[in-house]
Structure 1
Amino acid sequence: MNDAMRNTALEAWMSEHGHSSNSLADAVNSAVERLTGRAGGHDGASVRDWKSGRVRWPKAATRKALEDVTGLPATALGFVPRGRTPSVPASSQEDLDIMKRRSLVGGIAAAAAAAATPGTASMRRIGMGDVDRLHRRFAEIVARDHLHGGQLGIEQRAVTLADAAINLQNAGSATQRVRSGLYAAAAAFRSSAMWAAIDGRRYDDAKAHMREAQTLAELSGDQAIKFRIWSHAGSLYRHMGRPAEALAANDVACNLHLTRRDPLFACLGYARQAATLGLTGDTAAVQRALGRSQDAWDRADRSLARPVWMAAVLGGAEFETLAVAAHLRLGDFERAEMHAHRGLALLHPRMLRDRAINTARLATAQLGQGDIEPAVATARRIPSDIAGQHARVAPMLQRFGAMLRAAAPGTAVVRTWDEHVAAWGVGA
């Protein structure tokens, strides 16, 4: 098959979400069964046909199942309707993507605006298509967070989309399923605004978003988004240095029945408990929490489709990242280094913010063991734009610099480091 016919969009999505041909086939078969009452008959060969371009437009039930699994329309996954020209010049593709995003956002805004216009509600029926458009916008927010993290622009955009989802409730008639989906979408956007504020160390804003998100999640009844919000609440209080409240919030997340139905959520909940317990200095409790997280990971069916924000958990990187944080707080630098290496190996290349944080923690773990020159070499791998600007990475490097000067005062390696970071403004 000609390489020009390959479905690179589907291949990219599978790579980003850690799917093999067989695991995607299993997920699609399950989605087909939910839609039709009968299990799908796809296998790894079916997915390889999609990737190679031998099958460019699957049957309707398969397309809908793929859309349910990925949260994306079939065309965004690289499938081409029969009778259409499959190729788009590279220079035009970017313009097309921009036009699609503008059109979709404009459609959401237009529907939401109907709520403010008397007499228009009866003219508009809100459906799952509207919810699906919001899900695609949510996936974009998550992707931007993975790249940059903590930016005020991400927070503000998430709030705007949350408001648009709420306004759709009043823009026309809808089924209860659709209304629940709209509330879940609004809660998801608010939870992303909350996380962006946490990551940017804007804690008062994060608490305001948390309250909004919790209310919306209750209205939706969506267990996954409830878990995300309470788990983020635990992270918020952990970053604020309030372990008792962090542990209480994580307990709420861990006790949702979702964690019994899907152990992958329990894996994340217990790993975040471990990171918080590191603040208390209780080594035994940290080890128990990490053990429970690992047990849950072993029980989880990782072939199932998960929300887009679970990508790092699904790939194993999130467990390692939180284990690093826990062991660093305990002063167990050797174990912290081990988990940091594992986490960096598992992180997707697009997760630039997480890679920078893990690299800073790895450098700290190496320095804590007296490996001064390797630690400095590790810290210097962090891109300067992230090192100097990200609200969490910059303070980490400040602490690293202070540790380095205490460990090797007046040495050439300290002078080299100070010169290296002088342009970033994080050395002192």
Structure 2
Amino acid sequence: MDATRNTALEAWMKEHGHSANSLADKVNETVERMRGRPSGFDGSSVRDWKSGRVTWPNSTTRAALEAVTGLSATRLGFVPRGQAQPSPASPQEDPDMKRRTLVGGIAATATAAVAPGAVAQRRIGMTDVERLQKRFAEVIASDHRHGGQPGIEQRATELAEEALNLQSAGSATQRVRSNLYAAAAAFRSSAMWAAIDGRRYVNAQQHMREAQALAEMSGDQAMKFRIWSHAGTMHRHMGRPADAFAANDVARRLHITRRDPLFASLGLARQVAIHGAAHDHAGIQRAFDQAQDAMYRADPTVPRPLWMRAFYDEAELHSLALSAYLALGDHETAEDHAHQCLAALRPHMVRSAAITRTRLAHCQLAQGKTDAAVTSAMQVPVTAATEHARVSRMLTEFGAALRATAPGSPVVQTWTEHTATWRASA
């Protein structure tokens, strides 16, 4: 069956004198203002929207179209995923009558938006935002328990779409709309982090682009910081320290880091790990001292976003220093930071504890402490060892290094038997 044409978009274009190419130019200009770089829409893109081949553009495109037209995506004839397509018009229907019916329907919808008890265009308020914020708290908690799982990434992506769909579901104040964009950006940034943590970097970069556009529309400085800071971490894990420095510097230049020393501290703490990837010993220590100083200056009574309160503390600072010194090959200093991290970790940081114990095992093994190294590695939970991409890879590397360091020794046999239990329980 042929795709159902988007007659609402066609009608708007005709009424406002737009060709496919002129609308594409307007959308490109709007996306460039939102994202700081051009997009590649052309006449064929608009024809895909009109023909119904594209029924629900991505969130950035929808936001740009809404800004250009002043209408919501659904009123422009786009259909959210999972909803039924509108019935095609009868072939015998008079085109002028069809247009009058369409415009009349849009007017009726607009009237319904302000009518008491309206269902199609209900009032969207802060209670809707608060409901999304509760879902965000659940995503954050799931990440700290499990980390990097595709299910977390998918759930966060779906919730971002849900937040954006509310923009089109009814009338709302500008404050509410900004909060909805911030919620969508928060979910997208969590999807981005889950993809980074699971080493799905192509996915992470797509989530990053969506999150950046949404954060710009929300005007939320803290969320912009989170996204650019995550981008720095992503590039570090991809082995691109120059790009990591550049992305993290964007986060560190945001004025929120001047208002709140704790944001400045987090930016510097992530700089510590990037210096490690760049093998800059002096840079590691300098950034660590500055991050610690900023953390001590931060007022603990200042309200901060949930995502930051949930993870950034002394333990995370030592975790990033551990990563830096491990990359540098200074295993003794790295081990010291690992012990300090584990001593300060809060109980809900299950994923972080697994990563820290795995890195500690590597530090100890590199110093010839094979028994202690195996003991540390065996404390990593089975779920993290088998399901978390980063932990699983590091433990595989640990096993290979252990066998190379102490071939045929009893400790190797102990490790081999322990890992066999993982496979049996997986």
What residue number does 1:354 align with? 352
What residue number does 1:254 align with? 252
Report deviation, 1:389. 1.7
Superposed, 1:184-333 pairs within 5 Å as 184-333=182-331
Aligned-partner residue type, residue 331 of structure 1? G
Report deviation, 1:419. 2.0
Secondary structure, counterpart of 2:177 in structure 1: helix
Report deviation, 1:370. 1.4
Report deviation, 1:312. 4.9
Q: Give the Cα–Cα distance (whole angstroms) in 2 for the partners of residues 315 and 282 of structure 1.
A: 24
Aligned-partner residue type, residue 235 of structure 2? Y
Report deviation, 1:380. 0.5
Tell me, yes or no, if the aligned pair for 1:312 and 1:318 is still in contact at 8 Å: no
Tell me, yes or no, if the aligned pair for 1:302 and 1:314 is still in contact at 8 Å: no
Q: Give the Cα–Cα distance (whole angstroms) in 2 for the partners of residues 249 and 423 of structure 1.
A: 41
Return the match for 1:125 from 119, 123, 126: 123
Q: Give the Cα–Cα distance (whole angstroms) in 1 for the partners of residues 271 and 296 of structure 2.
A: 18
Q: Give the Cα–Cα distance (whole angstroms) in 1 for the partners of residues 311 and 386 of structure 2.
A: 27
Tell me, yes or no, if the aligned pair for 2:266 and 2:312 is still in contact at 8 Å: no
Q: Give the Cα–Cα distance (whole angstroms) in 1 for the partners of residues 317 and 274 of structure 2.
A: 13
Normalised TM-score (structure 1): 0.70
What residue number does 2:179 align with? 181
Q: Give the Cα–Cα distance (whole angstroms) in 2 for the partners of residues 215 and 344 of structure 1.
A: 37
More displaced 10-residue stretch of structure 1: 129-138 or 203-212? 129-138
Return the match for 2:416 from 395, 418, 425: 418
Aligned-partner residue type, residue 382 of structure 2? S
Structure 1: 4+ residue segments shifted above 4 A? none
What residue number does 1:342 align with? 340
Secondary structure, counterpart of 1:201 in structure 2: coil
Report deviation, 1:148. 0.6
Secondary structure, counterpart of 2:265 in structure 1: helix
Q: Give the Cα–Cα distance (whole angstroms) in 1 for the partners of residues 360 and 303 of structure 2.
A: 31
Report deviation, 1:308. 1.6
Secondary structure, counterpart of 1:392 in structure 2: helix
Aligned-partner residue type, residue 315 of structure 1? D
Tell me, yes or no, if the aligned pair for 1:191 and 1:209 is still in contact at 8 Å: yes
1:135-160 CA-partner distances (Å, limit 9, x unpaired): 11101100010111111111111111
1:51-74 CA-partner distances (Å, limit 9, x unpaired): xxxxxxxxxxxxxxxxxxxxxxxx
Q: Give the Cα–Cα distance (whole angstroms) in 2 for the partners of residues 323 and 412 of structure 1.
A: 32
What residue number does 2:47 align with? none
Report deviation, 1:266. 1.2
Q: Give the Cα–Cα distance (whole angstroms) in 1 for the partners of residues 274 and 313 of structure 2.
A: 22
More displaced 10-residue stretch of structure 1: 360-369 or 176-185? 360-369
Return the match for 1:389 from 380, 387, 401: 387
Structure 1: tracts of 5 or more residues without a match: 1-109
Q: CA 1:373–1:180 in 2, change beyond 3 Å: closer, same or farther?
A: same
Report deviation, 1:121. 4.0
Report deviation, 1:388. 1.6
Q: CA 1:205–1:332 in 2, change beyond 3 Å: closer, same or farther?
A: same
Tell me, yes or no, if the aligned pair for 1:147 and 1:351 is still in contact at 8 Å: yes
Secondary structure, counterpart of 1:350 in structure 2: coil
Aligned-partner residue type, residue 406 of structure 2? A
Aligned-partner residue type, residue 279 of structure 1? A
Report deviation, 1:223. 0.5
Report deviation, 1:188. 0.1
1:105-131 CA-partner distances (Å, limit 9, x unpaired): xxxxx9x98xx9972544311111111
Report deviation, 1:163. 0.6
Secondary structure, counterpart of 1:244 in structure 2: helix
Report deviation, 1:387. 0.8
What residue number does 1:97 align with? none
Tell me, yes or no, if the aligned pair for 1:121 and 1:170 is still in contact at 8 Å: no
Q: Give the Cα–Cα distance (whole angstroms) in 1 for the partners of residues 310 and 330 of structure 2.
A: 24
Aligned-partner residue type, residue 394 of structure 2? M
What residue number does 2:33 align with? none
Aligned-CA RMSD value: 2.0
Q: Give the Cα–Cα distance (whole angstroms) in 1 for the partners of residues 141 and 166 of structure 2.
A: 24
Tell me, yes or no, if the aligned pair for 1:268 and 1:313 is still in contact at 8 Å: no
Structure 2: tracts of 5 or more residues without a match: 1-79, 87-104
Q: Give the Cα–Cα distance (whole angstroms) in 2 for the partners of residues 131 and 312 of structure 1.
A: 20
More displaced 10-residue stretch of structure 1: 155-164 or 208-217? 155-164
What residue number does 1:379 align with? 377
Normalised TM-score (structure 2): 0.71
Q: Give the Cα–Cα distance (whole angstroms) in 2 for the partners of residues 425 and 398 of structure 1.
A: 13
Aligned-partner residue type, residue 333 of structure 1? H
Q: Give the Cα–Cα distance (whole angstroms) in 2 for the partners of residues 218 and 425 of structure 1.
A: 45
Aligned-partner residue type, residue 215 of structure 1? A
Aligned-partner residue type, residue 216 of structure 1? L
Secondary structure, counterpart of 2:407 in structure 1: coil
1:359-397 CA-partner distances (Å, limit 9, x unpaired): 101111111221110111111011112112211100111
Q: CA 1:352–1:313 in 2, change beyond 3 Å: closer, same or farther?
A: closer
Q: CA 1:133–1:312 in 2, change beyond 3 Å: closer, same or farther?
A: closer
Report deviation, 1:348. 1.8
Return the match for 2:147 from 122, 146, 149: 149
Q: Give the Cα–Cα distance (whole angstroms) in 2 for the partners of residues 313 and 145 of structure 1.
A: 11
Q: Give the Cα–Cα distance (whole angstroms) in 2 for the partners of residues 121 and 365 of structure 1.
A: 62
Q: Give the Cα–Cα distance (whole angstroms) in 1 for the partners of residues 178 and 384 of structure 2.
A: 38
Q: Give the Cα–Cα distance (whole angstroms) in 1 for the partners of residues 254 and 341 of structure 2.
A: 27
Which protein has the larger Cα radius of gyration, Structure 1 or Structure 2?
2
Secondary structure, counterpart of 1:422 in structure 2: helix
